[in-house]
Chain A
């Protein structure tokens, strides 16, 4: 069964450093998403991406964040200058479309980011 994959599974970085989190969405899916979950808190939406453009973003997704689809398979989240509060689990998700039947989102296993 097709699945979303993410690398790395764990990332430790120093405050102020840049990190890139990578995702390979399900191959026939057209919509891609990033979410984060701070330990003990709820899953929070960051951004959705379609046709090489951001289609929706949350207040969390400020100028330190960016997303890119550098090739036909990868989808990346870049955090430019990490802060302690960026420590969280980051989930990538994908969906075929955005209609009621095609908009179901499937999640990858996540990248646990720790900022020291």
Chain B
């Protein structure tokens, strides 16, 4: 079983729509959860982190965490063509320091 799983996509949404990105993780002891954005050929760029069950909002982005289901999601409201990128879900396991990444979901926002 892969540690962090994401649907590779591509996920295509029209400009202005809500994009929903999902991630599951296998280590129930995982403590911290992150969403990074990666443009082609570039480094991961932090969008937001979450470590408590529930929702966390930051501008157009909302992260959702459900530890019982081992599930993390990212909602992007009012999607823009500039949001077109690969979105990486990452977790830090209990007592660890390493970010364990999923393969990423490619998002395409059409104008």
Contacts and interface: CB of A to CB of B under 8 A. Distances in A.
Interface in B65-103: 88, 90, 92, 96-103
A43 B51 contact: no
B20 to A, nearest CB: 21
B22 interface: no
B97 A43 contact: no
Contact of A41 (B90, B96, B99, B103): B103
B101 A43 contact: yes
Nearest to A42: B103
Q: How large is the interface on B (under 10, 10 to 19, 20 to 34, 35 or more residues)?
A: 20 to 34
B99 A42 contact: no
B1 interface: no
Given A106-B46, A108-B43, A42 B97 contact: no
Interface residues of A, number: 25
A56 B97 contact: yes
Contact of A103 (B38, B45, B92, B101): B92
Interface of B: 31-32, 34, 36, 38, 42-46, 49, 51, 88, 90, 92, 96-104
22 contacts: A31-B97, A33-B97, A33-B98, A33-B99, A35-B99, A42-B102, A43-B44, A43-B88, A43-B90, A44-B101, A45-B98, A45-B99, A56-B97, A103-B32, A103-B97, A104-B34, A105-B34, A106-B46, A107-B43, A108-B43, A109-B42, A110-B43
